[in-house]
Structure 1
Amino acid sequence: MKRIMICTLIGATGFALSACNDSNNDNPAEVNQVPGFIQGDIQRTDYDGITDDLLTAGLGATGLRNGPEPIFLEPLNPTSAELRQRAIYNNYRALVDTTSGGGYGEFFGPGVGNGTEGLIPGREYIAFMTVPGSDVPVTVMAQIPDSFDPQSPCMITAPSSGSRGIYGAIGTAGEWGLKKGCVVVYTDKGSGTGAHNLETNTAQRMDGTLTTSDEPVQFRADLTATERSEFSAAWPDRFAWKHAHSKTNPEADWGQHVLQSVEFGFWALNEQFGSDSNVAPITPANTVVIASSVSNGGGSSVRAAEQDTKGLIDGVAVSEPNVNPVVDASFTIKQGSNSAIEHHSRSLLEYTTALAVYQGCANQAPAIRDIAPLNFLNSSTVRDNICNSLANKGLLTGAASATIDDYATEAQRILNEDFGIQPEQNLLAPVHFASNVSQGISMTYVNAYGRAGVEDRVCGLSMAATDGAGVVRQLTQTEEAALFAVSNGIPPTGNVNIVYDLADGQPTRLTDSASPSSLQKDYGLDALLCLHSLALGRNVITGGSLSVADAKLHDAITVGIEEVRATGDLHGKPAVFVTGRADAILPINHTSRPYFGLNQRVEGASSELRYYEVLNAHHLDILNQFDGIGTWYVPLHHYYFQALDLVWERLTNGTELPPSQVVRTVPRGDLATPLAESNLPEIAAQPAPEDLISLVGDELRIPE
């Protein structure tokens, strides 16, 4: 049996000096330079694939599917290994449906393809890094499976999806790459779990353990001791969160984070396989490198491919990427015989704040009220209150006799027609609203794009634990000790919630708050309207100008959004996007569709980007475990793995990528019926003409 071994490598030096006794390079004169962006020590751990491993943290396919959440022997003081195991368990299950019949164990999963539990032995290197112009640490990691073949090297990037921590892509790009025998390079993209308890000054080390000492941590707010003390006196028990409050707009550097992770991966490979005679036998020139991941991670890899000036990346395979393409009004988007969409490529902040404002009322629309899955999670009273508040502010119109049905129908029309959200996304939007997806993203990105600090309390919002009535409380020590392993990086998460400090009565959890203007529980609509106004650059209630302070913040937000715009230039790299038409988090008319159109404009005939739009698929496969969702939607994850297979074949065997197309899946209709191949048709090598997606003249044509 291999032993599990943890070592510390001396980082940020001219030499790769190892504190481990089994280094392959015993001659310190041989130089495998640690990249200059690495900060501090590099931790190395060897996993035997029996008691612990790279992919499942020793849980195996069965443990990930059926096992309970791993426990901490000392709940107040979990070890780094315990935190890692629980983080892998939660991150895997947050993105992949592991229930019986949903495809796990049949079409995807650690054991698929090898008939085992899928434990993968190998070596893990992890460190902090920074990008030029920022001193906020970003976590980077390289996992090298024992199956890696230095004579045929390959690498897959796995930046975290959403705002998750370093293991945020373990079940997506991580699984595919490790099973393929590739080194997988991860980064938390400068977001991650980094939570700072302002009351106690507690923060997370790289491994998730907590400290109050002055030492390297994932994140602490940019406050002096006096400023922090004064803030906590006024607003006790609050948290600062890395993605929202680092004042760096981390998304602007997501592409650089991925490129640096690739360079770190090459350092790790040559640390492991280099020798006195050949210090760097593994280079970009002899390695197949695929930039990959899903959602925010997918968008990061796309940006990395655009920004790649060193020839590090060979191809791209991403699922539902969060890309904000440069606005190109020279083409429209037309689905079937529907009206052409002219105003595409809206920023994430525009459409997400619109969803935060209007969706709660739209949930009452007769067309979706009784058939939208899990719509009952939203209180009908609160939905009515939101509709009435919007109507009273003049944001919904109607005759004097207008009813809630009328207002809700109008709210749905605004989202579909004014903000370009596809009708196919309407049925899934209510469950996302109930989960505070649009609310959490809106708050986080307004702060991030505007480079605001926690002390600014933008729109009167902060972050804290709350009790059953929504009143601020202390996060327990047990809860805080687990944050690294349970947080998704955007509150509400890990029992830390969004708090509306200006709510009627007292600071209250946003979902339970009554707006000062209405004195009704309406999901803190006043705060959400404030966020929407900052996104649009005008007071959405009056139609007038913002205050001087808000106008200044809006200008900063505008700069932040421009910093993240994607150019559409992939430099001819083979690339595949797969996206579900029913994606209710990243609407396709503002992400994948216009990016494909922009790319066709920019690269023309030299483009190797293919776009596959999957019917009956959406953003969060984990929801497919619920009746009413899994019955009518298929796992997009399956097609993401197909995308990786296609790009791999293109790069290694020269196989042509199939044309861009609509993929017509077949829902199973009953959770008791397992998914079969008949539900999940392959991406067609030669699709029917009526399924082709193409830019024709000034029109991006998408089949029904």
Structure 2
Amino acid sequence: MNQTPLQLLACASALVLAACAATPPTSASRTEAAVFTAVTSSVHRDGDDLLSGGLGLDGLRGMTAPAFADAQAPSAAELRRRALWSSWRGIADLRPQGGYGTLYGSLAAVPGREFQAFATVPGARHPHRVMLQLPDTFDAERRCVVVTASSGSRGIYGAIAVAGAWGLPQGCAVAYTDKGAGSDYFDLDAGMGVGVDGRVAGRDQLLAFDPGDAAPATGIAFKHAHSGDNPEADWGRHVRQAGEFALAMLNDALPDAARFTFDNTRFIAVGISNGGGAVLRAAEDGDWLDAVVAGEPNVQIDAPGARALYDYTTEAALLMPCALAALDGLPQSPLSALATTMRAPRCAALRKAGVLEGDDTATQARSALAALQGAGWTDEAIRAAALSVDFDLYRAVAVTYASAYGRFAAGAHPCGYTFAAQNPDFSPRATTAAERAGWWSDASGIPPGAGVGIIDPQLAPPDLTGAGLACLRALWTGDGGDARRVRAGVQQLASAPPRAGLPVVLVHGRDDGLIPIAFTSTPYASAARAAGRDVRLWEVRNAQHFDGFLALPDYAARYVPLLPYVYAALDRVQAHLDGQDALPADAVIDTRPGGTLDASALAIPTR
């Protein structure tokens, strides 16, 4: 769920269209064989490898994205290289002090082949992307596939720093899915979307996402919000289909080897954030999986302490800006000064609405803080939430997920939100050809970012975003038809325990302020164990949700990256599957942030 910074937006009128809810998937449909379309393959050697597109660690550390020779018409190869750059920088801590490539991980070139396609789960209106990366070092006698799902709403390369960077260097094939989200945006003004290879194309060609003729004539639509499929309900099936795609491509690519099946090929599933939630959903029907590692998973389960993402996100979006005014010494970002000016107006607006107590900002802030603490937010999560407030991530998530859960079409958001490119005064405008060309590589899958902004028709001072957020919150707490529709979508997300006997390791930062451990991993582990499942939990002190934001000096001084612990958990799981070690035990891991990371600073468990 890593996002790009929010810009303050101006008012715009929203177009409202009717939308119909699709039928939720049945349990029987989960086992139907996948059908793959638009299958493509490419070779990546001699300066263009699978892991970094030839950029290597130094190239990925570059502050400027790889350039396009023609900004309006980049080649597929240019788009791929830039997508890799964007995905690495959005997920991993690549600072020299962060230890990547020395303390953990490797970005040595991995030559090989890449296969991509569209796959559609039964009952879905739109496909999700699947991909297999097959390194030249793959050994058909040691059959290993790492299967993964993109973090957040990112495109098909959105887990390259998680699964690809662990699996490819040791000769495993890696299978990916964008799980029905991704950066396949559609320009409603131009009638253009994204084709198989990432290049912009018209409706006369095969597109990854087209909102249909009933969509508005202006603005931008994107798959996560506007597919009408509630993709999160199918995350487990998306991951399974990525595994099926891996088998199909291995059998085509290696015809002289014995046929690849789930029975004779090791499958380890790994993901972080939304990708972590996706692999846990796959674990429910995981007779095809050998092990699962889930980092900071967005997972929802019916258990004490658990809460739905939409619930705690909309709560935080409203209360957190005010509550932070009650705390000193908060982490600082480039947007902290701007965010601080919004605290008093939010506190006053919530007091006027009867949500908070007190006649001054300080008292109102303490009231908001107490409300969050009473709802289960820990002090560590609240402090780390300052980053999500600074960059307005809670609102970005809530706007998109309200559309997804309620299956609202483009232009039909119940709170009037739309999406568009913007003028300097933040009013909506048509997108340029160069902006469209970069979406597939640059976008995180949820606006704002990559030149696409959130248009809020209720935006007004002094509490600029407060009215829209109150509307979003009411979709969880209210009784209207739109609220019932959103909650019905959320009910389809409930996770079940993993398959009996399947090794599962959870890795979660105690300071996660976007997907708090108290609402997700802790209750999931407890419920799974109560059901007799083999689930282990590593709780990492001083780790928040975004390794990529450790590029900010104050965050680097306070927090450590989570990714090395995900890698370490994968190492331990693989050793367990090889019969060399026991499954790693539960651990609360002490860490030492700040300075140059070393093994003692990360304190990775040895057992």
TM-score, normalised relative to structure 1: 0.79
Number of the residue aligned with 2:489: 560
The answer (yes or no) to whether the contact 1:373–1:428 under 8 Å persists in 2 is no
User: In the alignment, is the contact (CA less than 8 A) between 1:61 and 1:109 conserved in 2?
Assistant: no
Contact map agreement 1:60 1:110 (CA 8 A) in 2: no
Task: Quote how far apart the aligned CAs of 1:381 are.
Answer: 3.1
1:50-199 equivalences under 5 Å are 50-66=46-62, 68-111=64-107, 118-199=108-189
Deviation for aligned residue 1:40? 2.7
Give 3-state SS (helix, strand or coil) of 1:426's partner: helix
User: CA contact under 8 A between 1:479 and 1:495: conserved in structure 2?
Assistant: yes
SS at match of 2:293: strand
User: Hey, what's the Cα distance between the residues in 2 that align with 1:90 and 1:379?
Assistant: 26
The CA distance in 1 between the partners of 2:331 and 2:59, in whole Å, is 32
- 2:597 is matched with 675
Task: Give the Cα separation in 2 of the matches to 1:387 and 1:378.
Answer: 16
CA contact (8 A) 1:256 1:307 kept: no
Give the equivalent residue in structure 2 for 1:313: 289
Q: Is 1:378 the counterpart of 2:378 in the alignment?
A: no
After superposition, the C-alpha distances for 1:57-97 in whole angstroms (9 at most, x for unaligned) are 11112211236310000000011111110000010111111
Matched letter for residue 57 of structure 2: A
Correspondence for 1:221: 211
Q: What secondary structure, in the 3-state scheme, does the structure 2 residue paired with 1:463 have? A: strand
C-alpha distance in 2, partners of 1:634/1:454?
A: 39
Picking from 218, 229, 247, the partner of 2:228 is 247
Q: Tell me, which stretches of 5 or more residues in structure 1 are unaligned?
A: 1-34, 112-117, 330-343, 504-512, 515-519, 539-545, 686-704
In the alignment, is residue 284 of structure 1 matched against residue 284 of structure 2?
no
Q: Distance in 2 between matches of 1:266 and 1:379?
A: 49
1:469 aligns with 2:428: no
Q: How far apart, in 2, do the equivalents of 1:180 and 1:84 lie?
A: 23
In the alignment, which of 354, 363, 368 is matched to residue 411 of structure 1? 368
Aligned counterparts, 1:310-459, within 5 A: 311-325=287-301, 327-329=302-304, 344-365=305-326, 367-368=327-328, 370-374=329-333, 376-398=336-358, 402-418=359-375, 420-459=376-415
Name the aligned partner's letter for residue 250 of structure 2.
Answer: L
- 1:132 shift after superposition: 0.4
What residue in structure 2 maps to residue 44 of structure 1?
41
SS of residue in 2 equivalent to 1:262: helix
Aligned 8 A contact 1:156 1:182 in 2: yes
CA distance in 2, matches of 1:675, 1:154: 31
Superposed displacement of residue 423, structure 1: 0.7
- Shift of residue 384 of structure 1? 1.5
- CA distance 1:523–1:646, change in 2 (3 Å): farther
Task: Measure the CA separation in 2 of the matches of 1:73 and 1:152.
Answer: 41
- Root-mean-square deviation (Å): 1.6
Q: Does 1:302 align with 2:280?
A: yes
Give distance in 2, aligned partners of 1:382 and 1:469. Answer: 19
1:444 Cα deviation after fit: 1.0
1:130-185 C-alpha deviation (Å, 9 max, x unpaired): 00011301100000001110001101012100000000001111110101210100
1:542 matched residue in structure 2:
none
C-alpha displacement at 1:558, in angstroms?
2.0
Aligned residues: 575
CA–CA distance in 1 between the matches of 2:271 and 2:443? 19
- Residue 622 of structure 1 is matched in structure 2 by 548
1:289/1:314 contact within 8 Å kept: yes
Query: Which structure ranks higher in relative contact order (CA pairs < 8 Å, sequence separation ≥ 6)?
Result: 2
CA–CA distance in 2 between the matches of 1:67 and 1:441?
Answer: 26
Rounded Cα–Cα distance in structure 2 between residues aligned with 1:254 and 1:574: 19
Q: Does the residue aligned with 2:133 lie in a helix, a strand or coil?
A: strand
Deviation of 1:385 (Å): 1.2
Task: Give the equivalent residue in structure 2 for 1:18.
Answer: none
The equivalent of 1:647 in structure 2 is: 573
Q: Hey, what does 1:207 align to over in structure 2?
A: 197
Decide whether aligned partners of structure 1 residues 39 and 186 sit closer, same or farther in structure 2, where only a CA change above 3 A counts. Answer: same
CA distance in 1, matches of 2:49, 2:337: 38
Code of the aligned partner of 2:85: Y
Residue 638 of structure 1 corresponds to 564
Letter in 2 for 1:387: C
> What amino acid sits opposite 1:637 in the alignment?
L
Residues 298 and 318, structure 1, Cα contact 8 Å, conserved in 2: yes
SS at 1:571 equivalent = coil
- Offset from partner CA, 1:519-578 (integer Å, 9 cap, x none): x23232111111111012x2xxxxxxx4xxxx2222222221121111123322111110
Shift in Å, 1:456: 1.0
Structure 1 residue 263 and structure 2 residue 244: aligned?
Answer: yes
SS in 1 for 2:558: coil
Name the CA distance, whole Å, in 2 between partners of 1:416 and 1:475. Answer: 43
Determine helix, strand or coil for the equivalent of 1:388. Answer: helix
SS in 2 for 1:453: coil
User: In the TM superposition, what are the counterparts of 1:686-697 in structure 2 within 5 Å?
Assistant: none
Which amino acid in structure 1 is aligned with residue 298 of structure 2? N
Contact 1:102 1:625 in 2 (8 A): no
Moved more, 622-631 or 79-88: 622-631
Q: SS at 1:564's partner residue?
A: coil
CA contact (8 A) 2:49 2:109 kept: yes
**How far 1:684 moved relative to its partner?**
4.6
> Which is worse superposed, 674-683 or 640-649?
674-683
**CA deviation after TM superposition for structure 1 residue 654, in Å:** 4.7
Spell out, residue by residue over 1:177-213, the C-alpha distance to the aligned partner (whole angstroms, 9 max, x if none).
1012101000000101121111111101122111123
3-state SS, counterpart of residue 42 of structure 1: strand
Report the Cα offset of residue 608 of structure 1: 2.0
How far apart in 1 are the matches of 2:410 and 2:98? Answer: 41
Q: Distance in 1 between matches of 2:462 and 2:221?
A: 26
Structure 2 partner of 1:3: none
1:619 Cα offset (Å) = 0.8
Secondary structure of residue in 1 paired with 2:553 = coil
Local SS of the residue matching 1:164: coil
Query: Aligned partners of 1:680, 1:463: CA distance in 2, in Å?
Result: 41
Kept in 2, the 8 Å contact 1:177–1:183? The answer is yes
Correspondent of 1:532 among 465, 473, 490: 473
* Cα distance in 2, alignment partners of residues 167 and 57 from structure 1: 11
Q: Which amino acid aligns with 1:677?
A: A
Q: 2:189, 2:430 within 8 Å by CA — same for their partners in 1?
A: no
**Structure 2 CA distance for partners of 1:485 and 1:68, relative to 1, 3 Å:** same
Point out the structure with max Rg over C-alpha.
Answer: 1
- 1:28-49 Cα distance to aligned partner (Å, 9 max, x none): xxxxxxx96334331010111x
Deviation at 1:379, TM superposition (A): 3.9
Q: How far has the Cα of 1:104 moved from its partner?
A: 1.8
* Cα distance per residue 1:254-305 (max 9 Å; x no partner): 1001001101101111111123xx6x43222222210111111111111111
Q: Is the 8 A contact 1:377 1:431 kept in 2?
A: no
Q: Secondary structure at the match of 1:653?
A: coil
Aligned match of 2:438: 482
Q: Report SS of the residue matched to 2:117.
A: strand
Match of residue 22 from structure 1: none
Q: 1:67 to 1:109 in 2, by over 3 A?
A: farther
Supply the distance in 1 between the matched residues of 2:102 and 2:142 (Cα, whole angstroms): 28
